[in-house]
Amino acid sequence: MKADAVPASPSTPSLWQAGWHSAARHVDSPNFGPRPFEANIDLIVLHSISLPPGQYGGPEIEAFFTNTLNWDAHPYFQQIRGMAVSAHFVIRRTGELLQFVSSDDRAWHAGTSHYRGRDNCNDDSIGIELEGLEGDTFTQDQYTQLQKLCEDIAIAYPIAHIAGHEHIAPGRKQDPGSGFDWGFLQHKLGWSKHFFPTNTG
C-alpha cells in the first residue's frame, strides 16, 4: 500500500459482505467479470449519468445496467443501443444508493482508460455514477452520500486515488464535468490533495 493511501481496516459484517454494501439497494447487473488476480483496488472513479440526458428519477438507469432498457422508448437510446455496461454504485439525486456489481468484481464503467501509470482502469477501480448531467451541478444529498460511500470503500480497500471519468479517459469522456465540486468533496473527506486529480479547477 502506498504511504499516502487511506489506511484500510478490516470490514465489518454489518458494512460489507463479499463486496456488497449493506446500505445500498442491490440491483444485480450481468455486466461484470473477475478482476485480474493481482489487482490492487486503489482507485475510485466518479461518473455522471442520466437517461434520457437531463431527465431524473426514472427506471432507465437500472434498466440500462441490467440490459432491459427499451431501446425504442426514446430517440436518444439509439445512440447507446446494445451497449452492455455497469458501475458498482449509482447515487440518485435524492441520495439513494444503488449497487449493481460487487466491489470485489470488475464492473464495466471505465472503458479505454489510463491513470496513475496504468491502463484498463476497470481492473482495479470502483465506479460510482452520480445521477446528473455533464456540466450541471449535483445535489447536497448526493455529496453527503458520496462522502459516506468513499469513506466506507476506504475501510475495505486501499484507496489511494479518486478521479473522474474525464481524468482517466481525457478527450473521450467529460463526466462528471465542470459542475462537480472537487474541492468540496476533498474538504468533506479530509483526504490529502494527492488523492485527487491536479486538473480539477
Per-residue pLDDT of 35-63, as tens digits, reads 999 999 999 999 999 999 999 999 999 99
Q: Which tens digit of pLDDT belongs to each residue from 137-164? A: 999 999 999 999 999 999 999 999 999 9
> For the chain, how many residues are written?
201
Residue 19 pLDDT greater than 50, yes or no? yes
Q: 96 an active-site residue? A: no
Segment 167-189 shows an average pLDDT of 97
- pLDDT score for 198: 86
- Could you tell me which residues come within 8 angstroms of residue 141 by beta carbon, excluding any fewer than 6 positions away? 93, 94, 95
pTM, two decimals, is: 0.93
Q: Is residue 142 a contact partner of residue 184, using CB atoms and an 8 Å limit?
A: no
- Of residues 129, 131, 134, 166, which has the active-site annotation? 129
DSSP conformational letter for 21: E
- pLDDT score for 14: 85
- Residue ranges and CATH numbers for the domains of the chain are 25-195 (3.40.80.10)
| Rounded distance between C-alpha atoms, residue 200 and residue 181, angstroms | 8
